Structure 1
Amino acid sequence: MSELALVVDGDRHLGWKEIQIRRSLDAMADSFELVLSEKWADRDGTTVEPRRLRTGAPVVVEIDGEPVITGHIDDVLPSYDARSHSLVVSGRSKTADLVDSSSTAQPWETGQTVLQVARRVAEPFGIEVVAEVDVGAPLRALEVEPGQTFGEALGQLASYRALLLVADEQGRLVLTRPPRATLKTELALGENIRVARGRFSDRDRFGEVIVQGQGAADDTWFGRPASGASGRAKDDGIKRHRPTLVLCDTSTDSSSCRQRAEWEVRRRWGQSRGITYTVAGWRHQDGLWRPGDLVPIRDKWMFDEPVEWLITEVQLLLDERGERSEIRVAPQSSYDLEAEPEPERESDVW
């Protein structure tokens, strides 16, 4: 069984009876919740000393000495009665400060990449920013609304370069694109899979996706070509007549509309499928389960043949049912990122 320690001010707090650690591609900050319940005295009569943990304290959540979450305590919930006492401690990665905090609009220089902007924004918070992939060309001048959180603002900038923002085990902000790695360990029916819960839906899929956009007319390109830019793509998995229209609110041409329609078909299919697998323990053969990795799956109950799907969320759990991982997977196309068009602004703010 793994040993989880909550490290606060150099002290290692052990003995947690319930554990929940959540990491997701959809969250800029990972989270944890730990529960401790003890009698007032040990079996030998030794009185149990209270664990005084304060909100806001820097913490590292470790599993077998390996950091999993580096951040701060958000909530401390102590309680007791005549027989026992309990303590619930929850918190998030350092990057939670970016998720929560906001400010007025701030001027910034044009011609910076997403990585450069993110480092500038994160520096006052003491958060390091790293990139696992090419972050693309510098951004044009942008305007961020006053009161918008730093996390929302950085997420918007990242979308212009088809990037995801996640936290790593050291509490750093990571610019990435899935898949991050391909695992050797399989999820296999009859072997390590304990429980599986699937969702397969066609509600948001359409037999034909039509994308229409408004082109930017000029002296040589105007009239019907500019106003009638459009593209189409078919989803061969939908046999009924189910068309849908997607309108682009930025300047585009027919080629871009067609590419957008094809992307819509792929992404809608990917997002319509998902399975949550439960396996024993918190590790695969090369380390702890984490979101963003591709995992091979052999499951004849869910698939006709073996597949490789993307891990989108991981929960590491411990309670009366034992130590286990809940691993949510989806087709890789569910996170087939496409850069959103940058707004055409001439302002030079934030």
Structure 2
Amino acid sequence: MKKNVVTLKVDKGEFQYQITGWTRLNITRGIERIPNSFDLHMSEKVPDLDFIEVSEGDKCRVYIGDNLVLTGYVDRWIPIVSDNQHILQVVGRGLCQDLVDCSAVYKGMQFVNMTAESIAKSLCEDFGITVNAEVETGSVTVQNINLGETPEAIISRVSRVAQVLFYEDENGNLVLSRERNDIVRGSLVQGVNVESATYVRSMDQRYSDYIVVIPNAQLTTDVTDGVSIGYYTVIDQSVPRYRPIYIIPEDGDAGFVTAEKRAIWECNRRYARSNMVRVTVTGWRDVEGNLYKPNTQIQVNLPKLKVVMKNWLIGEVTYRMDETGTRCDLLVMPIGAFTPEPIIPYKLPQDIGAALGVGQ
């Protein structure tokens, strides 16, 4: 079917190559990974391979039918020659790969009184990457850049402060978002479109008591409303035995409002991540012909696994093709599994804040 033909379009100056005929491939997208990636193989005879001048580092786009699924670069161009055939393998990743591979460069090595969106834009602009913020991102007082630190590491840190997810879209843009309410039409149904499913239910990463502690609050009573030490405890009644965990946040907050949020977040997120389903479905599209994609909700109905009529979130999608056909591997988890960690930096003393221009 033409709507599932995978095309690699490679920009080569004023020329553009469009390569189809792939016989084996993997294309992976997710909301907890940058960049997206692809691995394409052509194992049949390729008589015109000599005329395809594609090089590692070339900018490219990957389409499934008319749907763009990845914009990035060719990392590896691997032609293999035998007596009777040419074999071609192309491996690449999305534009956001440079945020993971390279070091961050920013004058002053410090961000002051900027939003997570503006910090991300400052880090991405040198790499030609657009930042799309789908939600409001709060202001971050001070963030220092450690020499050699990657842009991805800094964006990860400020995204937790802003409580947003960050991931790469099909255009190679960096997206700042949260769990979406978009719902996939149709369901993942045992015996209908689900070829195989694995339900991992675990207890090893869950705890009965989540205790968030800010031990150095006694040193900063001027910014914690006079409280010398603070903690907040959430109890998970579904954990059958006593399993406490103390959590020391990277940052604190006046009044310890975030300590409460952090404890609840830790409990809910660990529960959600202890209930994950990996599903292999026939084909790459839902009942309306739309590609499965990350950060969308889908109904899961797997009675034999005791997951019945639940709306869960797609966290990762792999479009896969080989000699046996086209399949899609989905990682789905309960809503809340991808909620970002709540962190609020220490409120700076007024004199320091004034010197840095915070709040101006």
Pairwise same-fold verdict (TM > 0.5): yes
Contact 1:213 1:249 in 2 (8 A): no
Alpha-carbon distance in structure 1 between the residues aligned to 2:223 and 2:170: 54
CA RMSD of aligned residues (A): 2.4
Alpha-carbon distance in structure 2 between the residues aligned to 1:51 and 1:38: 16
Contact 1:22 1:32 in 2 (8 A): yes
* Partner in structure 1 of residue 314 of structure 2: 311
Contact 2:104 2:123 in 1 (8 A): no
Alpha-carbon distance in structure 2 between the residues aligned to 1:83 and 1:142: 58
Identical pairs, percent: 27
Deviations 1:112-141 (A, max 9, x none): 212122222222211111111222x22212
My pick for the range that moved more, 103-112 or 176-185, is 103-112
| 3-state SS of paired residue (1:209) | strand
Number of paired residues?
A: 340
Contact 2:164 2:177 in 1 (8 A): yes
The one-letter code matched in structure 1 to 2:322 is: D
* Partner in structure 1 of residue 10 of structure 2: 8
| 3-state SS of paired residue (2:317) | strand
Unaligned runs of 5+ in 1: 42-46
* Partner in structure 1 of residue 335 of structure 2: 332
Contact 1:105 1:146 in 2 (8 A): no
1:217 aligns to 2:221 (yes or no): yes
Unaligned runs of 5+ in 2: none
Alpha-carbon distance in structure 1 between the residues aligned to 2:37 and 2:225: 52
Deviations 1:129-176 (A, max 9, x none): 1111222x2221221101001121122111110111111111111111
Structure 1 residues 303, 338: closer, same or farther in 2, change over 3 A? same
Contact 1:105 1:145 in 2 (8 A): no
Please, what TM-score do these two structures have when normalized by structure 1? Answer: 0.89
- Shift of residue 344, structure 1, vs aligned partner: 6.1
Alignment equivalent of 1:20, drawn from 26, 34, 46: 26
Contact 1:275 1:329 in 2 (8 A): yes
Deviations 1:291-326 (A, max 9, x none): 111111111112253111111110000002210100
Alpha-carbon distance in structure 2 between the residues aligned to 1:258 and 1:116: 28
* Partner in structure 1 of residue 99 of structure 2: 98
Alignment equivalent of 2:300, drawn from 297, 301, 308: 297
- Shift of residue 51, structure 1, vs aligned partner: 3.2
Alpha-carbon distance in structure 2 between the residues aligned to 1:219 and 1:300: 52
Contact 1:8 1:58 in 2 (8 A): yes
- Shift of residue 242, structure 1, vs aligned partner: 2.0
My pick for the range that moved more, 258-267 or 55-64, is 258-267
Matches within 5 A, 1:44-63: 49=50, 51-63=52-64
Please, what TM-score do these two structures have when normalized by structure 2? Answer: 0.87
Structure 1 residues 172, 105: closer, same or farther in 2, change over 3 A? closer
Alpha-carbon distance in structure 2 between the residues aligned to 1:28 and 1:70: 12
The one-letter code matched in structure 2 to 1:62 is: Y
* Partner in structure 1 of residue 140 of structure 2: 139
The one-letter code matched in structure 1 to 2:113 is: G
* Greater share of helix: 2
1:126 aligns to 2:119 (yes or no): no
The one-letter code matched in structure 2 to 1:14 is: T
* Partner in structure 1 of residue 173 of structure 2: 172
| 3-state SS of paired residue (1:154) | helix
The one-letter code matched in structure 1 to 2:53 is: R
* Partner in structure 2 of residue 44 of structure 1: none
The one-letter code matched in structure 1 to 2:285 is: R
1:32 aligns to 2:33 (yes or no): no
- Shift of residue 16, structure 1, vs aligned partner: 0.5
Contact 2:5 2:65 in 1 (8 A): yes
Structure 1 residues 255, 314: closer, same or farther in 2, change over 3 A? same
| 3-state SS of paired residue (2:73) | strand
- Shift of residue 248, structure 1, vs aligned partner: 3.5
* Partner in structure 2 of residue 81 of structure 1: 82
My pick for the range that moved more, 124-133 or 309-318, is 124-133
- Shift of residue 109, structure 1, vs aligned partner: 6.1
